[in-house]
Amino acid sequence: MIKLIDKQKIIIMHTNEGKTQRQISRELNIDRKTIRRYLREYDKKKKELFDAKPEENTILISDIVSKPIYNSSLRKKIKLTDQIISKIKFYLDENSTKRATGRSKQQKAKIDIWQALIDDSCNIGYTTVCNAIRDIQREEKEAYIRAEYAPGKVAEFDWGQVKLIIAGKLTVFEMSAFTAAKSNYRFADIYYSQKTESFLDAHANFFEDVGGVYSQIVYDNTKVAVAKFVGKSEKKPTDELLKLSIYYNFNFRFCNAGCPNEKGHVEKSVEYIRRKVFCHRDEFSSYEQARAYLRQELVKLNKMPQSLANGRSAADMLDDERPHLLVKPPRYDTARISEPRVNKYSCVAIDTCYYSVPDDLVGQFVLAKIYTDKVFLYHRQVLVADHKRLHERFKWQIDISHFTKTLAKKPGALASSVALAQAPQRLLLIYNKYYIGAEKSFIELVELVKKVSIDKVEAAIEELEKLNLKEVTTDKIVTICQRQVFPAKDKMIDKESQIEKTSREILNLYAKLLNENELILTEVR
């Protein structure tokens, strides 16, 4: 194909220098038919230019000086036959069906389509197949229609991943993101998973943050919202989404598979929030610190002026939307419910982790209410255990007070037990200082802590130490904890009352007797 400079030489050599087409062909080594075509086009357009109206001049001038273009539209495709094109379209339709039925990760890539054609004895190159797919998809491209939203009517929801370093360890979090369609107000939170409790908690937090409820929430095809696909376009919502919708009185809509543009705002919000918030800082000492930082940065982002809103911030526009929001009821109970059976270790399994319950419930079913940060366990509508939620795999959360009956029968198992290793630090210090070798007595102390509190037990031990007793035992601690509480001193009197003096004397006498008894027993032995 000749270039623009060749076209210029042909025209100049013929019109200015008076050379024939044969001479030009010989000098430029260009076929005479090509030279004849360009000269005829030039003469034709020049004549039309002098006869044309002024408003037509621009088009004609452009045609005269345009680059030479090779017209390949009439070239017949040798290998890309209509039969092969129909097969390619079949595979593309198959991909669309898979996307609509939740099997998007099992689609055929371009190279898979080419391989399928080769296996079907089609002699065609990979590049030709790629070009054909591109042309077919270009034909199918749709025009987007810009929407105008009423205040307080529509918000959009989506998930996105964010990688943070928590206490020196790289952790992948799931970030929930809401975007108000009218004001472009953004709200986000981070969770360890996309499970139901995270989905519910994200909605409850969003409605609390904006102070109301949007009339419609738009979702993609996330598993926590879509229970299953019915055909290509119809989706059945999950029970949890239906319950949430009934409680907050909002409607919901699912966008079509593979059409994130139908959400419009939130797709970009996930990327925008992730980049703006965590590009400057992505290392934190704890998960709670990371969440607090995200909230803090979102406030700044929502106060930034928006060019498409005449410089108004999203926070300002949300203030205009609030009167149009639905009334927000009290916060929704965002727990996921399950009914696990208590295993032989007196624990229940929840998401690969284990949580203890009282050891008299072995073999029975309990009701578990699973929140993003806590786990509550009930038996016959009575709360029997609550634990901090574990997010790593195959971890154990053991409360030593749940195993007092078993340990009372097997006190020798206490020292090497997970229950003791995970005991509260204050209780562990008491064991290491006073109860090594007296495990049975320590189990009785654990029972006492359940009835009173660790503060009272520590106060009793401190008082026993002041009395210079040689040994701190559970019986002595019980005596101190169950001691009668005398009326407080009159605020106007500084001296001890007679009752207080008598009580102190009795207590000192009791301590003296205990010491004497211990000495006698030692001598007898």
Q: What is the DSSP string of 357-395?
A: --GGGTT-B-EEEE-SSEEEEEETTEEEEEEEPP-STT-
Cα(291)–Cα(128) distance, integer angstroms:
50
Q: What pLDDT does 300 receive? A: 94
Q: What pLDDT does 67 receive? A: 66
Q: What pLDDT does 378 receive? A: 97
Residue type, 206: F
Cα(245)–Cα(236) distance, integer angstroms:
14
Q: What pLDDT does 485 receive? A: 43
Q: What pLDDT does 491 receive? A: 41
488 DSSP assignment: P
The residue count of the chain comes to 525
Query: What pairs with residue 10 in β-bridges?
Result: none
Could you report the average pLDDT of every consecutive run of 10 residues in the chain (525 residues)? 76 84 87 86 76 59 62 64 89 84 82 91 89 82 66 92 94 94 94 95 96 93 84 80 94 73 62 90 95 95 86 92 94 95 96 95 96 96 95 93 91 91 92 90 90 89 80 86 53 51 65 58 48
Q: What pLDDT does 361 receive? A: 96
The dihedral sign for the CA sequence 161, 162, 164, 166: negative
**Core vs surface per residue 107-142: b (16+ CB within 10 A) or e:** beeeeebbebbeeeebebeeebbeebbeeeeeeeee
Check if the beta carbon of residue 403 is closer than 8 Å to that of residue 424: no
Check if the beta carbon of residue 106 is closer than 8 Å to that of residue 98: yes
Q: What pLDDT does 311 receive? A: 86
Q: What pLDDT does 57 receive? A: 53
Q: What pLDDT does 481 receive? A: 83
Q: What pLDDT does 495 receive? A: 46
Check if the beta carbon of residue 340 is closer than 8 Å to that of residue 365: yes
Residue among 444, 372, 396, 399 nearest 193 (CA): 372
Cα(475)–Cα(468) distance, integer angstroms:
16
Q: What pLDDT does 199 receive? A: 96
